Structure formats: C-alpha cells, structure tokens
Structure 1
Amino acid sequence: MTDIRVGLIGAGYIASWHAEALAATRGVRLSAICDVSESAAQGLAQAWGAQAFTSVDAMAEAQAVDAVHILTPPHLHEEIALKCLTLGLHVLVEKPVAESAAATMRIRDAAASAGRRFHAGHNFLGLPAYGRMKAAMQAGAYGRVSSAEITWALPLAPLRSGPFNLWLLRTPQNLLLELGPHPMAFAHDLFGPVTITHAEALKPVMLPGDDPRPQGFRILGRAGDVDVTFTLSMVEVIDDRSVVLRGSSARARLDFANDVLVVERDNASDLVVNPLRRQLDLSRQHLAEGLRNAWVQAVSLNTKNPYGRSFRGMNAAVYGALAKGTPPDPRFSADSAVAVMQALDDAIAALPPEARAVKAPAVPTRTPKPSALVIGGTGFIGRTLTRRLVAEGSDVRVLSRGRHGPFPDLPDRVETVCVSLHDQDALAQAMQGVDVVFNLAKSLDKTWEDALRNDVGVAVTVAEAAMQAGVRRLVYTGTIASYDMSDPRVTITEDTSFAADMRDRNLYARSKAECERRLMALHDERGLPLVIARPGIVVGHGGPLQHWGIGRWHGAGAVRIWGHGRNILPFVLIDDVADGLVRMIDPDVVGQSFNLVGEPMLSARGYFDAIHQTLGARIRVSPGNLHAFYASDAVKYALKKYALRRKGVVRPSLADWKSRAHLSPFAIDKPRRALGWRPETDPECFIEKAIRDANLLGL
C-alpha cells in the first residue's frame, strides 16, 4: 500500500511536534512543508527530508501531498482549510479549528462536498492514559459518573510579558478559543454534547494601552447526566492539566500533561487500616505510572514523551482509519469539531459583556513622523524602549511580524509596519527619514546553519539597509552571554574579547558574537555607524517570572539555578536598559560597545529570597551542579549525534555551562563615564521595580 503523503502548512513551534509524530506513524510520509517564510519552510523541510513550499498553490501544483495539517494562526484556518479541500486534500486543523462553530460547519460541509476528511487536532484525546480512562468509565469501573472537573492551569507568560501582538491576545474571546478546545473535547468525547450554564472571566490583567484581558475562566456545563466544571487559569501556577471523574465507585484523575491515570477507590478495611490502604494504593499507582513513563521515555530517547505520544495517538487514529477506508475516529471527526466549537461559542456568549469588551484604540489626530526605527519593538526591551523614545519626544516606527503592535494608546507617535528582515530594499525603504535604528531582533535557532541565516544574516542585512538609507546611527543589542564568564577571578569589561573559537558555546551566545564580529567589520571597512549594547539579566515590569538567565525552570514553583547561586548576578532594570539605549543616540561613541549591567546587588539566591519576602511566594530553589549539567549535555550530544544521527548538534563545553552561572564579575564604569548612564543604585528601589511592580505572578 502506498504511503499517505502529508504536508504541514505552517512551520512554527508546533510543526516540529507534528513532524516527529508523522515520522513515527505507520503508512504515512511527511512529504512537504509550506510556510510564507521560505527560510522557515526550508529549515524544517531539510530536517525531515521533505519538499519546501511558500504557498499552498505551489504545493498542490507539485502534487506533493494527499493530506495537510494546518498549523497557522487560527484566523487563517478556515480559509486555508476550504482551499485545501477544494484542491482535493484531506485536512487536519490544529485547535482551535476555526474562530466559530459556524466557520467549523463550513469546513465540515466543504469536506463532505469534496469527498475528503476534516479532522480536529485535539491531540490529547490520543493519549494512552486517556484511552484507559475512557474504556474504564464505559465499562462501569467508576460506577455512575455524576460530575467531572476539567482543569487547564498553566502559566501564559505573554499575558504579562508579551509579545502582545499575538492572535490569542487580540480579544478576551481568543484566549478562551485558544485554551478551551482541549477541555471541551474531553467533555464531549466522554459524555456527549455540552450545554453551558454559566461562564465568568477571572483575574484581569492590563495589556499595553490599559486594555484588560482575563487570566482565567470558570465555566459550568452539563453533558447528559454529568455536571462539568471547567477551570482555565493562566497566572503563574503549578501545572495542573487534568480530568477528574467522580463516580459512585471511584474517583479517577487523568494528568494529561504527563499521561498519568490514578484511580481512588473505596476498600472494605476497618478503622485506621482503611485510609492507610487507600493511600498505599494511590502510592502504588503513582509509582507504577511514573516508572512506566520513565521507561518509555528512556528507551525512546525521549521521543515518546507524553506530549509527543498524544500526537502519535492522534495520527495513528486519523490515518489508520483513512488507510483502511473505515469511518473517521469520532474523537477527531468533523462532527466532534463542530460540537466542541459550539460549546465554546456558547461559553463566550455566556460571559458578561464587560468580560468580552475590547478597549477601542486611541483615535489618531496626526500622522507620525518617525525619527527612530525599532526592530523587535514588540518584545520586552523593545516595548519599553519605544515608549521611552516617545517620552523623549521622538516618533517611532516599529517593525513587527504583524500590524498589531502593543501601542494602541500611541497612534499619533508610533506606527507599526510589517517588513521581512531578509529583504534589504524593503528594510531600507522602512528606514527612510529615520536617524537612528535600534536592532533588538534575535532568532532562537536549533542549528548553526539556521542561526547564520536567521540571526547573523538578518543582522548584516539590517546593517546594509541602514547604510543604503543613510541612517546616522545603528544601535545593535548583543548579549553578555557571548562572554566567557566561567572564571570568577576575571573581571569582564568592554575590552574583554570573545573566544576565538565559539563552536563549543550555546547557539545564542555564538550567534550573537558572530553578529558583532561581522557588524564591526562593516564599521571598520565601510563606516557603518554602529554602537553595540549588551544588556545584562533584564528584569522589571513586563518581564517573566521564569527567567532562564537565572536557572532552569520546572514550572512556576521550582528552579534549578546555574551553579551554587551565591555569586552576584549582572541584573539590570528594564527602564535602565531603555535609558542606556537612548543615550547611545547622540554621544560620539560610534564603533564602541557598552555592557549595560546594573549595580552589584543580588545573587540568584538573594533574588528568590526577595521574591519570597516581597510577594510571599516561596519558590523551590535547588543548586545546579555545573559539572553534572555538562556531563548530561555531553551524553545528550552523543545520543543525538550518533544514535539519532541529527545534524547540527552543538558540542557542549564546561566553560559554556559555567558562563551561564555568570561567575565572572563585570566592570560597570564605561557606560556611566561615556554615556552618563545612571542605573538604579538603591537595593530597596531595585527590588520594588524588579519584583513588586513587575507583577511576576499575575496576581
């Protein structure tokens, strides 16, 4: 039998999970990647031996696929799905499959007319543990189920830290459409159509421009004889993604984030033995589930982690039925997709009007006349820098992936434009009339080839465009991570050079160092008016709680810090970084670099102690043995390179791991002397701005 050829439309984060699952699905071949970004399409296609396309029409014309997975932003799902069905392709659409039940019905009807299949990407229904839960419930193992609690409690950092131009933040409804499909899909698959009886939005947070968004929802519903409570929480909270069934004979809890099913049952023992036996039984189940999952992940080299298994289960069901010509699996069918979206429509309609309201953007009274261009202006540093420039009297042009920027309150002063960072002529056009360009862009790539294209190549293209447009100043943000900070006896200054061979450094540090090298060459050889800024560990309003410059996070409540955590870290407040960048516009500092590091104040342990004292939240802090990190990384490197035969794997080094701990201190006098920069020096004020004002927990 010929393999079913599948293409992915959209090459973002979720595409890698789909690709890995398709590669493991019998009778299926990943044959094409389609994305409007040619580099993104080519990068993923090369990794999986597929063809790359930049349009659906080109992919269809090449007759490269029989089915597609649509992984684009949700507002594009319906249009692309209808087009693919018209072209004779089966479609699987990521959640939410559309923006309304009506749109989902149109996709379903188009699939029926075309004689093709439409599946919903409710991947968690493909988990093995969920299959066991459903089978046990249907067999009566839990007795009569009277109620269910379905919870999605997982921090959503963009609500507090951005980027704020994401589709899911455009309206309160979009947040529910983004998070609600999985919980609703569980309820519908277990009990049938869900009738919504109540919905409320919780814990609002203000987006830029004082536009509120809920950080949680509580929804009550009924499916048949079962009362269902849906709890969605996006504040900094311990991960709890679960389905709890309360029956007359047992209480079953599925942790669908970890593919763990535990069932609590009554027993016939007396007195103190009864609760002891109950807890021992729960302990036995937890141990068995943990050992099983650990074994599966270990022998598969973590390719069968719980999230990955959910996609594999979904694909096996979808393409197994398609290959055999049997009816679609009801879990992922078109009718199921419509029912889930109808329940979400009803939940949105049940929200109070004020919870659905979107603040209208300010009405412009003039057209901005930008003298500054900020690339990466929708990010953490870029947002603060843009507002600082406006406060200093400048109009600003912001380059963004879309036209929805985090400045709805500044239409007279800020304009947002969408330009490809690979298009030099378009960039030069965007720089017309601009005196200074701030390039804050970064690309977090997985291979050196991708970093050369998406980070280094972009930095050079921006520089060439700046010279083409006659820009007076280009301020580029590198990173202190490019330094070798492994020796506490060595003080880092702007004169400290990067290592001659950066191949054993992490890709981010290596890529940023290469960007600086090439930009300085353009300055030396062709007069590029360049200034380089290297911010330290940036904290403050709009910054994340789970800052990976401090340690490896395991949810909001636990972090393993880099090293022992007693050395002073190079923290700096976001407002001070913006001030330092603005000060690089006028002084005669072309060709120089500045490390924007604040006054020495807190170690990693001191920072978390301050969070506890200020917010009353104790985070579990564990020291990280840097030699153990390195050894683990070396083992992973060997497995990826020689067992999985992956290309472009970064060679680890002990110095790189020690550098993450920021063991070397920084000299902080140059930006103060040359720029007149004065970062915060008062420890109490620093803690107030870095922790309390930052709203780290979203509460």
Structure 2
Amino acid sequence: MEKLRVGVIGCGSIAQHRHLPEYIANKNVELVAVCDINEERVKEVAEKYEVAAYTNYEELLSSGTVDAVSVCTPNYLHAPISIAALNAGLHVLCEKPMSTSKQEAEAMIAAAKESGKKLMIAHNQRFVASHQRARQLIASGEIGKIYSFRTAFGHGGPEGWSVDGKESWFFEKDKAFVGAMGDLGVHKSDLLRYVLGEEITEVGSFVETSAKDFADVDDNAVCVLKTESGIIGTLAASWAYVSKEDNSTIIYGEKAILRLEDDPNNSLVVQYVNGDVVNYQLGKIQSNDAGGQRTTHVINHFVDAVIHNQEPPVPGEEGLKSLAVILAALQSNETKQIVKVSELN
C-alpha cells in the first residue's frame, strides 16, 4: 500500500511535540514537508526530519507533493488554510479550536463536503482511556441518571511551553481570538459532549483576564452549562493554575460518582452509592507534564480515516458543536445573559 504523504503547516509546540513525532511513528505515513513563516524555525525542523521546508503554505498546497496536511497554526489561520487545503484536494487535520467563528467553521465543513476530502479536528480528550471508559459506563446505564458534573482544565499558561514563551501568539487577541477558553475550554466542551452523549444547550459564564497582565485574551473562565436532558454543571478553563495542571472531570450520577483524571494514581475512580469503589488504572492522560501519555491517538485516527475512507472520529460538524459552546460562553460574558447555543449568530 502506498504511504500517505503528509505536510505539517505551522511548526510550533503542538507540531513539534505531537503531530511530527506521531506522523513519523505511523508506518502508513511519509512525512514530506513542513511549513512555517519563521524561516529559521522551519529550516531547523525540516533538517531534523529530512523533509522539504516551505515558508508559504500556498506553495506547499499546490506543490503536488502531499495528500494531507496538519494545520497547526495560530487560531485565526485555521479556517483559511484548512479551506485552501480542502479546495486543493487535500485531507485536513486541524488543531482546535477549529475556527474563530461559526461562519468560518461552516465554511470549512462545506469545503470538506464539496471536495470529498476528510476534515478532522484534533480533539484528543476523546481518546483518553478513562474518558472512553466513562462514556461506556454512562451509555450502558451503569451510572443511572446523570445529575451534575464539573470539569476543569488549567495550567500555568502557554508561556511555559510555547516555542515563543510570553511572545507567543496565544496571548494576542487578533491571532488567538480567545485565550484559555479556546486553548483549554474547547477541549472540555468537546469532552463533556462526548462522555455525556448529549448536546450542551445553554451557557452562562464569567470570562476574565486576571493573571496575565501582558495578555489581551482571557486567562480564567468559569461557565455554567445545561444539557438537552437538563444535566447542569460547570466548566473551568484557566492559565492561572500555577503549580500543578488540573485536567479533571467529575460526573455525579444516580448510582455512582465518576472521577476522571482526578486521582494521581487511578485515571478513573467509580464511587458507587453502596460504598463500593472501583479504581481503574488506564494509563496517564496526555499532558505537558513529564510522564504524560506519549501519544494523543489523534494522528493515527486521522490517518486510518483517510486510508480506509471512513468518517473521521471528530469531523468538522463535531468540532463546530464544541466550538459553539465556547462562542456561547463568550457571548454570555459580554451580554451578562444565559445564551442558548442554538441561537448563536
């Protein structure tokens, strides 16, 4: 079988730590090219992987050398580059949040339909073993009716791991569009939709910049969410958790409480109403900390979807639904109203 020829657009931290090494590790992939507007950076990465270097993504897309691309650029470029790639007949794996607006996301989905190519959004929390097990337990009825939840994703901020430190695009509103909510919150809105197996319909939020005085995007957000069946809970996204990362989710059900990535040793703890406790050691969640899961599984799922001509596990439509929750949270913070996700512009 011929290998899938891949190019990676944007050579920052997410490309260097996740996409590039995971493509290299996939036996069905030939990494062909990398692209970044930073000439020095792209040369260095291209030399490391012995691939072609581009500083202009349009040249890469029209080169005829790749079948698929990863879009690992600042958020404001996700939609234009993904759409250009799809229109050029290439499959696209796009980092999250998929775009900066509902309109952009819809245009990406339309471009994928029109071109007949795959569009997948890199929501990796779905592939964490504890999250998958929790979804199964809830879907099977093992936990009974779900009453409430709380989820959090916080760490000290991108300056700790971004290739550009404090100078990173993550802190610039015109490039990032949104801060901790786009970086971390969208992961959790996607996770909740996946684990609970239903849509989030209403959102209320407070979104602040309290920890990073050099940033013009949010670094602390707390949202109240309601699902279609009436489950209520909270989502916190923060770049102000200064010591240890928090990536935990707790789901409160009729027959048990599920604690996901909340215990340092057990990735899933199920506390039953009768006092029984079941601990699952399913491997560490992928994180920026040492010892985190080495692979996100995102790349392998994307490659499999292309090779076997299957629907990707996180298509554009799913990316849009998870983004819509974050857009609703931003609107809620601005209007000081509860926002219905279905009524977003």
TM range, normalised to the smaller chain? 0.7 to 0.9
Could you list the per-position Cα deviations for residues 314-366 of structure 1 after superposition, in whole angstroms to 9, with x for gaps in the alignment?
Answer: 1222221221122222xx11110111121111111100359xxxxxxxxxxxx
CA contact (8 A) 1:77 1:98 kept: yes
Q: How far did residue 88 of structure 1 move?
A: 0.7
Describe how 1:343-354 pairs up with structure 2 within 5 A: 343-352=325-334
State which of 312, 322, 336 in structure 2 corresponds to 1:328.
Answer: 312
- The answer for the alignment partner of 1:2 in structure 2 is 2
Q: Does 1:90 align with 2:91?
A: yes
- The answer for the alignment partner of 2:22 in structure 1 is 21
- The answer for the alignment partner of 2:132 in structure 1 is 131
- The answer for the alignment partner of 2:190 in structure 1 is 185
Q: How far did residue 18 of structure 1 move?
A: 0.7
CA contact (8 A) 1:97 1:104 kept: yes
Give the CA RMSD over aligned residues.
Answer: 3.2
Aligned with 1:326: secondary structure? coil
Taking a change above 3 Å as real, the CA distance of residues 182 and 256 of structure 1, as seen in their structure-2 partners, is farther
Q: How far did residue 200 of structure 1 move?
A: 0.9
State which of 254, 262, 265 in structure 1 corresponds to 2:271.
Answer: 265
Describe how 1:396-415 pairs up with structure 2 within 5 A: none
Give the letter aligned to residue 131 of structure 1: Q
Structure 2 CA distance for aligned equivalents of residues 200 and 267 of structure 1: 33
Q: How far did residue 130 of structure 1 move?
A: 2.1
Could you list the per-position Cα deviations for residues 469-518 of structure 1 after superposition, in whole angstroms to 9, with x for gaps in the alignment?
Answer: xxxxxxxxxxxxxxxxxxxxxxxxxxxxxxxxxxxxxxxxxxxxxxxxxx
Q: How far did residue 137 of structure 1 move?
A: 2.0
Structure 2 CA distance for aligned equivalents of residues 155 and 35 of structure 1: 26
- The answer for the alignment partner of 1:668 in structure 2 is none
Q: Does 1:308 align with 2:290?
A: no
Taking a change above 3 Å as real, the CA distance of residues 293 and 98 of structure 1, as seen in their structure-2 partners, is closer
Aligned with 1:308: secondary structure? coil
- Normalised by the size of structure 1, how large is the TM-score? 0.43
Q: Which runs of 5+ in 1 are unaligned?
A: 269-273, 295-303, 355-699
Aligned with 1:338: secondary structure? helix
Q: Does 1:227 align with 2:213?
A: no
Structure 2 CA distance for aligned equivalents of residues 137 and 157 of structure 1: 33
CA contact (8 A) 1:26 1:316 kept: no
CA contact (8 A) 2:203 2:325 kept: no
CA contact (8 A) 1:205 1:212 kept: no
Could you list the per-position Cα deviations for residues 601-649 of structure 1 after superposition, in whole angstroms to 9, with x for gaps in the alignment?
Answer: xxxxxxxxxxxxxxxxxxxxxxxxxxxxxxxxxxxxxxxxxxxxxxxxx
Q: Does 1:216 align with 2:220?
A: yes
Structure 2 CA distance for aligned equivalents of residues 293 and 220 of structure 1: 28
Taking a change above 3 Å as real, the CA distance of residues 169 and 206 of structure 1, as seen in their structure-2 partners, is same
Taking a change above 3 Å as real, the CA distance of residues 83 and 260 of structure 1, as seen in their structure-2 partners, is farther
Give the letter aligned to residue 146 of structure 1: Y
Q: How far did residue 237 of structure 1 move?
A: 4.7
- The answer for the alignment partner of 2:81 in structure 1 is 80
Give the letter aligned to residue 8 of structure 1: V
CA contact (8 A) 2:262 2:268 kept: no
Structure 2 CA distance for aligned equivalents of residues 136 and 108 of structure 1: 31
Q: Single out whichever of 34-43 and 93-102 deviates more from structure 2.
A: 34-43
Aligned with 2:37: secondary structure? coil
Q: How far did residue 63 of structure 1 move?
A: 1.7
- The answer for the alignment partner of 2:11 in structure 1 is 11
CA contact (8 A) 1:128 1:259 kept: no
- Aligned residue pairs: how many? 325
Q: How far did residue 260 of structure 1 move?
A: 5.2
State which of 195, 205, 208 in structure 1 corresponds to 2:201.
Answer: 195
- The answer for the alignment partner of 1:364 in structure 2 is none
Taking a change above 3 Å as real, the CA distance of residues 76 and 266 of structure 1, as seen in their structure-2 partners, is closer
Q: Which runs of 5+ in 2 are unaligned?
A: 337-345
Describe how 1:84-163 pairs up with structure 2 within 5 A: 84-156=85-157, 158=159, 163=166
- The answer for the alignment partner of 1:168 in structure 2 is 171
Could you list the per-position Cα deviations for residues 51-101 of structure 1 after superposition, in whole angstroms to 9, with x for gaps in the alignment?
Answer: 222222332343221110001111111111111111111111111111112
CA contact (8 A) 2:178 2:217 kept: no
Structure 1 CA distance for aligned equivalents of residues 138 and 232 of structure 2: 15
Structure 1 CA distance for aligned equivalents of residues 168 and 154 of structure 2: 23
Describe how 1:580-599 pairs up with structure 2 within 5 A: none
Higher Cα Rg, which structure: 1
Taking a change above 3 Å as real, the CA distance of residues 243 and 205 of structure 1, as seen in their structure-2 partners, is closer
- The answer for the alignment partner of 1:44 in structure 2 is 45
Q: How far did residue 152 of structure 1 move?
A: 0.9
Aligned with 2:251: secondary structure? strand
Q: Does 1:319 align with 2:303?
A: yes
- The answer for the alignment partner of 2:341 in structure 1 is none
Taking a change above 3 Å as real, the CA distance of residues 261 and 82 of structure 1, as seen in their structure-2 partners, is same
Q: How far did residue 136 of structure 1 move?
A: 2.2
Taking a change above 3 Å as real, the CA distance of residues 62 and 214 of structure 1, as seen in their structure-2 partners, is closer
Taking a change above 3 Å as real, the CA distance of residues 336 and 109 of structure 1, as seen in their structure-2 partners, is same
Describe how 1:224-303 pairs up with structure 2 within 5 A: 224-225=228-229, 226-235=231-240, 236-255=242-261, 261-266=267-272, 281=277, 285=279, 288=281
Q: How far did residue 216 of structure 1 move?
A: 1.3
Structure 1 CA distance for aligned equivalents of residues 154 and 63 of structure 2: 43
Structure 2 CA distance for aligned equivalents of residues 108 and 73 of structure 1: 19
Structure 2 CA distance for aligned equivalents of residues 340 and 259 of structure 1: 29
Describe how 1:492-507 pairs up with structure 2 within 5 A: none
Aligned with 1:104: secondary structure? helix
CA contact (8 A) 2:42 2:53 kept: yes
Structure 1 CA distance for aligned equivalents of residues 265 and 128 of structure 2: 6
CA contact (8 A) 1:32 1:53 kept: yes
Aligned with 1:238: secondary structure? coil
- The answer for the alignment partner of 1:433 in structure 2 is none
Describe how 1:571-582 pairs up with structure 2 within 5 A: none
Structure 2 CA distance for aligned equivalents of residues 256 and 68 of structure 1: 35
- The answer for the alignment partner of 1:340 in structure 2 is 322
Taking a change above 3 Å as real, the CA distance of residues 343 and 320 of structure 1, as seen in their structure-2 partners, is same
Aligned with 2:205: secondary structure? strand
Structure 1 CA distance for aligned equivalents of residues 124 and 264 of structure 2: 13
Aligned with 2:310: secondary structure? coil
Structure 1 CA distance for aligned equivalents of residues 61 and 205 of structure 2: 43
Could you list the per-position Cα deviations for residues 501-540 of structure 1 after superposition, in whole angstroms to 9, with x for gaps in the alignment?
Answer: xxxxxxxxxxxxxxxxxxxxxxxxxxxxxxxxxxxxxxxx
Taking a change above 3 Å as real, the CA distance of residues 92 and 305 of structure 1, as seen in their structure-2 partners, is farther
Structure 1 CA distance for aligned equivalents of residues 42 and 105 of structure 2: 27
Q: How far did residue 10 of structure 1 move?
A: 0.8
Q: How far did residue 195 of structure 1 move?
A: 1.8
Aligned with 1:116: secondary structure? coil
Greater relative contact order (Cα 8 A, min sep 6): structure 1 or 2?
2
